[in-house]
Amino acid sequence: MAVVITIIILALLIALVVINNMKSDTSNNVSFDKQPSIEGQPVLGDPDAPVTVVEFGDFKCLHVKHGVKTSILNL
């Protein structure tokens, strides 16, 4: 009996997830009219490149500090 109840509950949960996903807006087209200013900021590469990657980090955070030491140096 417990197996039947578990299957029914699982089926209801799956149905809720499917219905919720069908209702959600799937248009994730994000467009930015203006890029963040990099004026006065340290830049790697061409500052006039068509793609700009801006990283926000807090070096007081040990995880960010460690990530910069291990990954940025490899770029």
40-51 pLDDT tens trace: 888 888 878 888
Q: Where do the H-state alpha helices sit in the chain?
A: 2-23, 62-71
pTM, 2 dp:
0.33
Instruction: List all residues 6 or more positions away from 54 whose beta carbon is below 8 Å from its beta carbon.
Output: 35, 36, 38
The reported pLDDT for the residue numbered 5 is: 93
- Longest distance between any two alpha carbons in the chain, whole Å: 68
Please check whether residue 35 is in contact with residue 52, taking contact to mean a CB–CB distance below 8 angstroms.
Answer: yes
**Region 31-59 average pLDDT:** 79
State the pLDDT confidence band at 29, using cuts at 50, 70 and 90: low
**Which of 69, 41, 65, 67 is CA-nearest to residue 53?**
41
Is it the case that residue 26 has pLDDT exceeding 70?
no
Instruction: List all residues 6 or more positions away from 21 whose beta carbon is below 8 Å from its beta carbon.
Output: none
